[in-house]
């Protein structure tokens, strides 16, 4: 695996990566819009790449095995919700595939709710305009904080969803940190814990 500094030199596993800004048809609509807007503000987004994959292999373990992509550069975006005084609070959490979000610790405290759990599939799909299994940090509802584990933010490249099951994005960790810092989210040490063996 070779990781270059720009999209034109990136090679990750067996992915055929293309410039995402020139291949917007491979992105969910909200993702394409958000990427274009972000690229106008931060040059690191111009390097974001996209690759076509088999949609039946979109789930992380199957994808990594099929495309020779290491689990420790693959990140999952999970949507967590809780209620406070009858009002639902939602956050998106980006963690490495080798870890799990600390939903009932760090995330619950960050949302300031008594109980937190994963948002239902139907609600996540309806709210984001993305396909389940392809939800990504780009193009999320503006009022959702994006919480990024610091291990993801430190990666030269992270592999995340594209909003569609038929493609994946390669994005610099620094770009993800920039996204997280724009709203009420942020890069958080300890957001994720290792998965149980």
- Chunked in runs of 10, what are the mean pLDDT values of the chain (197 residues)? 50 92 97 96 91 95 96 96 92 96 93 93 96 95 95 96 97 95 90 82
Residue 129 CA to residue 162 CA, distance in Å, equals: 11
Q: What is the pLDDT of residue 145?
A: 95
Residue 91 CA to residue 112 CA, distance in Å, equals: 11
Q: Taking the mean position of all CA atoms in its chain, how far away is CA 106? A: 18
Q: What is the pLDDT of residue 183?
A: 79
Q: What is the pLDDT of residue 9?
A: 57
At the topology level, CATH places domain 7-194 in: YbaK protein (3.90.960)
DSSP 196: P
Residue 1 CA to residue 133 CA, distance in Å, equals: 24
Q: Encoding tokens for residue 53?
A: 């994959």
CB atoms within 10 A of CB 72: 14
Q: Encoding tokens for residue 182?
A: 């724009």
Paired strand residues for 93: 78, 147
| CB within 8 Å of 187: residues ≥ 6 apart | 148, 149, 150, 153, 177, 180, 181
| 6: phi then psi, degrees, rounded to nearest 5 | -125, 165
Residue 155 CA to residue 64 CA, distance in Å, equals: 17
Give the predicted TM-score (pTM) of the model.
0.91
- The domains of the chain are located at 7-194
To 10 degrees, the CA torsion angle through 8, 14, 20, 26? 150
HSE-CB for 173 with a 13 A CA cutoff? 19
């Amino acid at each position: 695996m070779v990781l270059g500094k720009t999209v034109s030199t990136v090679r990750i596993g067996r992915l055929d990566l293309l410039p995402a800004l020139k291949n917007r048809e491979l992105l969910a609509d909200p993702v394409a819009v958000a990427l274009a807007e972000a690229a106008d503000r931060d040059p690191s987004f111009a390097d974001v790449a996209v690759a076509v994959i088999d949609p039946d292999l979109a789930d992380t373990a199957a994808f990594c095995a099929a495309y020779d992509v290491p689990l420790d550069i693959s990140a999952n975006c999970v949507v967590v919700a809780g209620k406070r005084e009858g009002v639902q609070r939602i956050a998106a959490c980006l963690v490495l595939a080798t870890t799990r979000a600390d939903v009932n610790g760090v995330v619950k405290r960050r949302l300031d709710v008594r109980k937190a759990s994963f948002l239902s599939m139907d609600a996540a799909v309806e709210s984001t305009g993305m396909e389940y299994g392809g939800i990504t940090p780009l193009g999320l509802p503006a009022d959702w904080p994006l919480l990024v584990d610091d291990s993801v933010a430190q990666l030269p490249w992270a592999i995340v969803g594209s909003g569609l099951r038929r493609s994946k994005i390669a994005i610099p960790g620094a770009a993800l940190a920039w996204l997280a810092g724009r709203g009420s989210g942020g890069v958080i040490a300890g957001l994720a814990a290792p998965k149980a063996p």
